[in-house]
Amino acid sequence: MDLALIAQHVVNGLMLGLIYALVAVGFTLFFGVLDIIKFSHGDVLTCGVFTAFAAFLGLQVLGLESKPLILVVIGVLGMAGMAVLGVLIARVLVLPLKGAPALNVLLITLMLGTVLRESIRLFFPDGANPKRFPALLPDWSHSWGRFTLRFDNTVLLITGLLLIVGVQLIIKHTKLGMAIRAVSQDEETAKVMGINFNLVVFITFAIGSALAAFAGLVSGLYYNEITFNMGLLLGAIGFSAAAVGGFGNLYGAIIGGFLFALLQTVGAVLLPFASAYKDVFAFGIIIVIMALKPTGLLGEKETQRV
């Protein structure tokens, strides 16, 4: 096993981990604020990247040439669009079900995910087939021996990490973040303290959904391909990552995301004859971890009140 191959695996793993972590952070934010699992999250990711793709096609028609500009525009549109979608979901589906058993929210968001996914498949032109996502970052690269470091991957990685750090800073050091944390810990007291509960929920959903859109964009740029059901597996992985880290725990979600990517990479290396098994392997390990540490590696937030 030579160094170049290892380095390649590492870069690949980091990219995957970044995508998963971005999705997982969304899951954990939603759980933190509302004690709910929003299963449509993976499909919001798909919507986000398809929105970006549609924007790209639109810009092409308009004749826009500058790739960096296109990238920024579609990125912003995708993220903003999903932020709006996130707020709508919170407003129409999640908040009205606040008193209902948790299973209902689980179900309704799962079904929403299906609606989003099927809508893309049925109504996006030729939605059932994979689409080639444009390469909008310059393809400069530098090689050291047999290891090639690509500029576009590096940019994605750095931007993604900055975003995650940014969200983390917001949560830890701003008033908004404090409001989010207050609502996570004790909704009633937070309301009594004058925090606008609904607003905090909307903002949280907006942030989480925008992150998902970004993750979708990263995925599209990295793999140069998007499909209508890419969100399904990504959502399941993001969910398990958040679970393994401990729901409600931001660091847990990030660690969980990178851990899952690590497991997948290890799995692919150990079982080169069937790379499909890498998913089975990774999920299997996650399930074992959950069996051993039911509240996640870093501990889930306590929600019971006796």
Partner 1 sequence: MNQHPSAPVSCLPALLAVPLGAVFMALSLGSESQGLVFGLLLGGSMGLGLAHHLGWLDRAGCSAAAWPRTFGGAVLVAVAGVCLWFHDDPFVLFLIATVLVYTLACFGLNIQFGFVGVVNFAGASFVGVGCYTAAILTKHTAIPHLLVLLAGGLAAALVGSILLIPVLKTRGHYAALVTIAFALLFKIFLEVNDVMGGPQGLKSSGLKVLGWDFNRDVSLGPFEGSFYLNYVAMILALTVLGFILARRLEESWIGLKLDAVRLDELGGACFGLHVPRWKITAFTIGNFYCGVVGAFFAMMLGYIAPSNFAFGDSLILISIITLGGLGSLWGTVAATAIVILLPEKFQILQEYRFLLYAALVIVILLFRPQGLLPRPLRRYAMLQRDGS
Please report how many Cα atoms fall inside a 13 Å half-sphere around the Cα of residue 29, on the Cβ side.
Answer: 33
**How far apart, in Å, are the Cα atoms of 186 and each of 34, 158, 170, 191?**
10, 35, 19, 9
Shortest distance, CB of residue 280 to partner 1, whole angstroms? Answer: 5
89 vs 179 by CB, closer to partner 1: 89
**Which of 164, 169, 194 is closest to 182 using CA atoms?**
194
Shortest distance, CB of residue 299 to partner 1, whole angstroms? Answer: 13
159 vs 229 by CB, closer to partner 1: 229
Shortest distance, CB of residue 144 to partner 1, whole angstroms? Answer: 36
Pairing of strands 131-132, 225-226: antiparallel
121 vs 150 by CB, closer to partner 1: 121
108 vs 210 by CB, closer to partner 1: 108
Q: What is the DSSP letter of 92?
A: I
Shortest distance, CB of residue 68 to partner 1, whole angstroms? Answer: 37
Pairing of strands 225-226, 147-150: unpaired
| C-beta separation of 248 from 268 below 8 A | no
109 vs 265 by CB, closer to partner 1: 109
80 vs 107 by CB, closer to partner 1: 107
Q: How far apart are CA 252 and CA 259, in angstroms?
A: 10
R_g over Cα of the chain:
19
Shortest distance, CB of residue 283 to partner 1, whole angstroms? Answer: 4
Shortest distance, CB of residue 98 to partner 1, whole angstroms? Answer: 12
Coil, strand, or helix at residue 220? helix
Q: Which residues bind partner 1 (CB under 8 A)?
A: 37, 39, 93, 96-97, 100-104, 106-108, 110-112, 114-115, 118-119, 122, 232-233, 236, 239-240, 243, 247, 274, 276-277, 279-280, 283, 286-288, 290-291, 294-295, 300, 304, 306
153 vs 240 by CB, closer to partner 1: 240
152 vs 279 by CB, closer to partner 1: 279
Q: How many helices (H) and strands (E) does the chain have?
A: 11, 4
Output the CA torsion sign for 290, 259, 219, 277: negative
Shortest distance, CB of residue 133 to partner 1, whole angstroms? Answer: 23
Shortest distance, CB of residue 274 to partner 1, whole angstroms? Answer: 6
| C-beta separation of 203 from 176 below 8 A | yes
Q: How far apart are CA 215 and CA 68, in angstroms?
A: 18
| C-beta separation of 231 from 46 below 8 A | yes
